[in-house]
Structure 1
Amino acid sequence: MASSGTTKICEADGGACKKEIRAFCFHCSKNLCRAHLIQHTQLMEENTSAQLNILADKFNELISRFEQVPTSMDMLAEPFRQLEKWRAKAHQRIDEIADKKRQELIDECEKYQKALLVKKEEELMKIKTNKILIAELIQEADASAKQIADLQKSIAFAEQYLKTNNQPTIGVIADPVSCSVDICVGSRNNHINDNTEIRLFQVHYIRLNGNIKNYDVQAGINTTMKNLIQNFIEQYDTIENSTKAYANEHMPKFDYILPVDVYDHRVHQQFTDTTAISSIPNYVQLVFYETPFSVSYPSNSRILMPCSFRRVNSNRIGWPIYLNVPRRGCRTQDVQDALQQSLDIFLSSGSSRQRPSYGLYLETIVNHVLTTIKFSEIVHNQLDFNRAQVSLVIDMEYRNID
């Protein structure tokens, strides 16, 4: 057994040093002699000094970079450029709509003019014929009471025609232009990188309760519809709930939103989560429909049936809606019940207002061929959504539907 007076030697250099220890180094957990303790202390001081110099250089670099951060109005020029870009696109969109409607108006006026000329010639021919008849009766100085009554009726009819048909029956019903620009101040959108090219969409959000509102939503050009929906939900939470625009604090859910393109007041195309933003044309009218069930499950027992409105035998009007009907074994009565429920919401037609009368037509597309039949003429009383694209068209007689 070693005695208590045993001398401990330096542990530096793997035990090669035989000198007596002078201190214990807590840095390297070794017993060291005086020479190695001084050497180790100097080495530690040099390393610490080098690290501090590196940190000092880094802080000097950060100070220089912070001093170069722009704080003038020049750095805020981008949102103004975005606003002007939106203005240009909005004007362009209005011009496109006006040009299209102008051509439709020209076509309708030409048809109206032709019909007016034909009717005018018919009535004029009747008047000339009656004039000849009157000349003959005057020459003969004889006319029956019936002949005189018929001539009086002819004059009354002609006067009524001139009174009611001398004004054009063609007019323009223009909806107010809805323009919405939201200004976001604060955090940058998490789904958009600084170096990503941005697309700005005007999204029309149509809720199940009939509320419709527009939002300007951004998305990276190289992202997908999934990112655009996520950005919309974040923006909705920031704008609507922060201002308490809705008392029920509604919050859109990702898988309860159906993104579609609406063209000429009908559903033109449905988008999926994977639809590339770069593939969506600039002229698309993007609509987000709130759905009563999750659209993430294609095998759902319910299906959304598109439905559009039009004036009787005329142009389509208003926003299309979706009817919540059974996917399998859907009967015509199921469609009519779902339609009436939606009309009660979107047209506010309850017991206090007279419900509008309408006619129903079913449109089916099979192999790119469109077929239209009266809803009442459906033979099997059931609709097959698996073999064809099926939609409903409503001919409205209710003049205030716009």
Structure 2
Amino acid sequence: MTSSSLVCSIDGCKRPITCLCHHCQKNLCSKHFNEHQIQVNNELIPMTDCLNELKMRLQIDEKTGPLAMLQMWRHKKYNEIDQEYNLEVEKLKKKISKYDEQISETVSNIQELINEGDASIDQVKEIQKIIETITDQVNNLTMSESIEIINEQNLLGTYIRMGSIQYLVKAKIKCNNIDLYGLESERSLVGYDGLCPQCGKAHVLFERNRGFYALCQTLHTQVYRKNSK
């Protein structure tokens, strides 16, 4: 009679053991070992299915894959740029039209005084003041605003020094219709938690205790003044 320690561990099976199954840590006969081996192999099938599904999700397809999300982001940014550009163009055209009308009106007034031939010194001084005002306006339009646009384009990815600390302009965001720059200091500073002052969220990934946000217009003005010195 076969010793119980030498027979298969499966209940009711009297076959002699063949090997130790590492799947269940039991001594099994060849039949039950093969069954366990089939079971192990069957566990691999859904793993393969899972990996194939993941592989399909990673397919670079402009309509269904992750590239589609990047394309959507790209179109969104292009639309935002177009909207901002069209808004700035409209504002610029209004200013140009306004200053052009002022110039034409002033030229007409001067011509009228010349034709009459009796202009007073006060009238001449008044026209001179008007010309100086228009000149300042045109200079501001053709130079200052152009410089501001250039500064805005060049700030991202640049370093700005404020006091003794240097900052990297890491990102530009819009939160609650407010344009903000995300700046990262060259070293950790107290109070720099990297949270947006408008909503309290972390829009940009900063190094710990090194990130903060600044109004775009404030930073543009500061850079412009610094460059003008």
The TM-score normalised by the length of structure 1 is 0.31
TM-score by length of 2: 0.48
Larger Rg: 1
Larger strand percent: 1
